Amino acid sequence: GILDVVVDVRRGSPTFGQNFGVELSFENGLQLLVPKGCLHGFLTRVENTVVSYKVDDFYSAEADGAVHWASCGIDWGLDGTPVLSDKDEVAPAFDAFDSPFVWEAA
């Protein structure tokens, strides 16, 4: 399974900077919808885990971004050092992230 996490980065949102995480696994059958304006990250808990996700548009390298995993106040429950992608290894801290998303009240 995985620990799947979202962080609200919508400027002006009453929950800006807050995070939420949930354990997803084959056994529990849960899914997570990540709304626009939220960062998404996950930590695999089991070797050879496959993660599938769907997005609302075609991939755009210009729109792709990252925030350093340890800078968002998330309790990852790690005992050691995680294995990261090259992009995640050099990602800026959360405080340096210039979010293009703005919260709009319903």
- Active-site amino acid positions: 53
Contact 36, 74 (CB under 8 A): no
Cα end-to-end distance, the chain, whole Å: 34
6 φ, ψ to 5°? -125, 150
Residue position matching structure tokens 């800078």 = 71
Rounded alpha-carbon distances, angstroms, from residue 23 to 47, 49, 60: 15, 13, 28
Q: How far apart are CA 18 and CA 14, in angstroms?
A: 9
